[in-house]
A and B are shown apart, each in its own frame.
Chain A
Amino acid sequence: MSNRWQFLLMLLLPLFVFWVAEQLLSQGSEQLKIPVIVLKEEENDTVNTIIERVKENETLQIFEKSETEAKRLLETNQAEAAVVFTEGMEEKLNQGKIEDVIQLWEAPNAISTGLIEEYIASVVIRLASNGKAATYLSNEFDGADVYEYAWQYSDDQWVPEPLMTVEHESASKPAHTQKTEKNIKPLLFGILSIYLMLISFYMQTWVMTERANGLASRTGMFGVNQLTRYLSNLLGSITVVLATLLPVSIYLLIGEGDMVQNGFLFIAYAVACSGISFFLANLFKSTLLYHLVAVAITVVTGVLGGSFFKLEEFSDRLSNASQYTPQYWFLNGLSRANTTTELTILVGLGVGLIILGLGIGVMRHDRT
């Protein structure tokens, strides 16, 4: 490390990158809302009231669009769902009928239509109950004033809303903020797992460059044992990887469970990544091929292992596949009280591949 500024940059750059990522992610997650389109086949107070009520939900972003535009936005996945208030809806609701009053169209990639459906239904049932009660009383007492009074009285009974407690109402805001913070950390650890694997691949390129630039032969001629050279270079590269990511790891690990245990997990993951990259660097002769494989492995194991999102929740098959990636064990270990299994698997994987890589390297050394 000839340039001390370069070394300083090497330490501070990841910290800066993760700080920026954190800022962007927290801002993004605060603004994250589900885009929902509403389509009105009739224009009246009931439909408008429902839309106004739906707009009060902080997780939904409501747009009023034409049918053609709604279909376009759904087909291109720019909206999650479209809620269609069908013709004759008001009349049906006043009669207490809640079937066939609303249609829900969903986008091809929609994942949250259940939530939208539940929320819209709760608002509609509330208004339908108000209408039914008011119509009943209005008919019983034959007076227009009774309808409005009864409607309002019925509506007031929904505050607090059924199935939603006052505690939820009061805890809603702070809970929202806490949830945002909790959601960012797994994402940041996911990015860290990718970052660390890529740096490990980069750091092990010495295996190929020293073979190509004659340094391996020269070192051998100076009486340095091949195994000693390999192990000292490997240890040096792991140390540089750990040193590079030490500040950012401390920054991320603060307040995230047992620091010492997570620190060991971090080291174990670095050993696993170095093992994979060291093995491949010895296996491949072409630097270009090595770099291509490095990126492919990082992306594939990152996706499977949950660096970007929890893929294991999608199917049992993917859940099983994710267990073959080091990212899975690293990221899972961070949320566990006991990480003995994770540490054993990561260190075992790393050391095993290092031994294999050494075997290939030593065999290859005696070739022209």
Chain B
Amino acid sequence: MIELRNVYKRYKGTDVVKGVELMIPRGARVGLVGPNGAGKSTLMKMIATLVTPSKGEITVSGQSVTRKKKQLRRRIGYVPQEIALHTSISVKENLKFWAGMAPGNVSEAWILQLVDMVGLRDKVNERVDKLSGGMQRKLNIIVALLHNPELLIMDEPTVGIDIPSKTEIVAFLKALGPDRTILFSSHDLQEIEMLCHYVLVLEDGVLRHFSSINDLPHSQNPTQELLKQLQIIQT
């Protein structure tokens, strides 16, 4: 479903992504790990059509991300690292605003389903800045799902929240079904192991490892063990 061929991104004279070759099947949940500055966010933004690769090609369902961006964006949901919401208005007003902007028709039933799935039903009339960090993160995710995209790209969507909220978000993402491809970056390796089918390790812009979670070293903390073998210090 997602294919990267010799992808580079140069920024201010430095390559932040270097020659990444990758193939991600439809419905796969892929966890991106790596130290800060490894190029995870840039790689995700390139797949999400937000940043243009300097070299190489990226295709999503056979369509190049540098051409026909508008059509491709209908099929991609992107969750930025920040709480990209209008925080001075209510949950309901945010959902209404973003549903109005979303490509295609967004049904009210789908919005309600998403709200129920993340447990925000009784918070819909509250201002976003009055919600807990976990609740804000959940809203941040469901806004990206309003147009029901087949690919969901999430840049550290659970950063800074408590463990129960993280667990709930992982459960919610799993409940979205087997057909939705998810790209998920996180510094929490256990979270990756709970959610993902694949692990992708990036360091200094280079793809160091990509495999099924089942192929990781046998250990109580397999991803941690893999990073140790690769001599990568996760920050």
Q: Which residues of A contact B (CB under 8 A)?
A: 2, 212-215, 217-224, 366-368
Contacts and interface: CB of A to CB of B under 8 A. Distances in A.
A218 B79 CA distance: 8
Contacts of B93: 2
A65 to B, nearest CB: 60
A217 B50 contact: yes
Sorted nearest first, the 4 A-B pairs with minimum C-beta distance are A214-B80, A214-B84, A214-B82, A218-B84
Contacts of A218: 78, 80, 84, 98, 143-144
A206 to B, nearest CB: 11
B37 to A, nearest CB: 10
A217 B77 CA distance: 11
B76 A221 contact: yes
A93 B120 CA distance: 96
A368 B41 contact: yes
Contacts, number: 62
A127 B80 CA distance: 87
B88 A2 contact: yes
A217 B84 contact: yes
B51 interface: yes
B82 A212 contact: yes
B150 to A, nearest CB: 14
Main secondary structure of the interface of A (DSSP, over half): loop
A75 to B, nearest CB: 54
B123 interface: no
A220 B88 CA distance: 21
Interface of B: 9, 11, 16, 41-42, 45, 48-52, 70, 73-74, 76-78, 80-86, 88-90, 93, 98, 101-103, 127, 143-144, 147
Contacts of B42: 368
Contacts of B52: 366
B79 to A, nearest CB: 9
Contacts of B144: 218, 221
A212 B42 CA distance: 15
A7 to B, nearest CB: 12
Contact of B78 (A2, A215, A217): A217
Given A217-B84, A222-B98, A367 B73 contact: no
Contacts of A215: 84-86
Contacts of B76: 221
Contact of A222 (B45, B82, B90, B101): B101
B50 A221 contact: yes
Nearest to A3: B88
Given A221-B48, A221-B50, A221-B76, A368 B84 contact: no
Contacts of A214: 80-84
A367 B85 CA distance: 21
Contacts of A224: 101
Contacts of A367: 11, 51
Contacts of A222: 73, 98, 101-103, 147
Nearest to A210: B84
A222 B84 CA distance: 12
A218 B139 CA distance: 13
A213 B11 CA distance: 21
A222 B52 CA distance: 17
Contacts of B88: 2
A368 B11 contact: yes
Contacts of B81: 214
A223 B73 contact: yes
Nearest to A222: B101
Contacts of B51: 366-368
Contacts of B84: 213-215, 217-218
A221 to B, nearest CB: 4
A117 to B, nearest CB: 62
Contacts of B102: 222
A366 B66 CA distance: 12
A212 B82 CA distance: 8
Nearest to A216: B84
B126 to A, nearest CB: 12
Contacts of B147: 222
Contacts of B103: 222-223
Contacts of B82: 212-214
A217 B83 CA distance: 11
Most B-side CB within 10 Å, residue of A214, A224, A366: A214
Given A220-B50, A222-B147, 13 more contacts: A2-B88, A2-B90, A215-B85, A215-B86, A217-B45, A217-B80, A218-B144, A221-B48, A221-B49, A221-B73, A223-B101, A366-B51, A368-B11
Most B-side CB within 10 Å, residue of A2, A215, A217: A217
Nearest to A221: B78
Contacts of B127: 2
Nearest to A365: B50
